[in-house]
Amino acid sequence: MSRTDGPRPGERTASRVIGVAFSTSALGAAGFATVYATGGQTQLEGLCLAVAFAGLAAGLGVWSRRLLPTGGYVEEHEPFDSPPAERHLADEALLGPESPARRGGLLAMLTLALGALGGAALFPLRSLLPFDHGRPVHELRTTPWAAGVRLVRSDGTPVRPDDVPGGTMLPVFPEGHRNRGDVPAFAVRLDPARFTVPPPGGDVGGIVVYSLLCTHAGCPVAVYIQETARMLCPCHQSNFNLLAGARPIAGPAARPLPGLPITVDAAGFLTATGDFTAPPGPGFWSLK
């Protein structure tokens, strides 16, 4: 039967199915455009796009399976063997006097160049392995604060207990590591009788030390409110109660400021007895 004798059985049904699928696709695309133009709603936009692509895929699939001609089609391929003249030219190129295989010096240099490139490519891979440094997670969770490290001011001078004022806070850093971004802390003198929660790092005569980095986004909590013994982050207004273990009582921060355990060494200077009680900085550390 020729194609002029009329549609084959099932072609009309397939055409209707394809038409419905393409119409559905067009409606989905129009729905997406409408939702987007009227302000957008992520779930509806995604649903409309899913309907549009599903209709398009279904229509094309039925079209290819039901309406396109099928059957066995054979295309003759030219012989795989090259003619003798071409094989002769290939032999001359590979084995003749001008063949690259006869230039041993150049091949050696090529091997050297490729070997050097391969060796150089190993160095970026080496940087991913902890040969001469700690693992990244460990490095991010720890700071240079450790037992025996003195508290110093920004100019590097050690801090004595009497240097901590009663009406404001004093920024402090670990001796020898003042330029690290995760080490800033502050010391403040409080009345131990007002503590409702013991300081996580303890206190020395009412002096407590906490990380200066907000646990929301890492901004410095640089505003001290003496009357209420609270620290305020000026970036997003997180508020930490120093009388209750520096717990957040307002703002987006959800984690207390990490405390720093301190003591007084034999020379009379404030000294850390360990690292912060928790990783300093943004609150992603609280995620499990």
* Residues recognised as catalytic: 216, 236
Task: Report how far residue 179's alpha carbon sits from residue 59's, in angstroms, rounded to the nearest whole number.
Answer: 63
User: Could you tell me which of 284, 263, 159 has the C-alpha nearest to residue 218?
Assistant: 284
Dihedral sign computed on CA atoms, order 206, 210, 216, 218 = positive
Cα separation of 279 and 282, whole Å? 9
Residue 17: count of CB within 10 angstroms of its CB: 17
Cα atoms found within 13 Å of the Cα of residue 57, Cβ hemisphere only: 6
Strand partners, 189: 207
Pairing of β 262-264 and β 270-272: antiparallel
User: Half-sphere exposure of residue 55, counting CA atoms within 13 Å on the CB side?
Assistant: 19
Of 260, 215, 264, the C-alpha closest to 240 is 215
Torsion-angle region of residue 124: left (phi > 0), alpha (psi -120 to 50) or beta? alpha
Six-digit token pair at 250?
């307002």
Beta-bridge partner residues of 213: 220
Q: Is the Cβ–Cβ distance between 233 and 210 less than 8 Å?
A: no
- DSSP assignment, residue 257? P
* 236 neighbors 216 (Cβ within 8 angstroms): yes
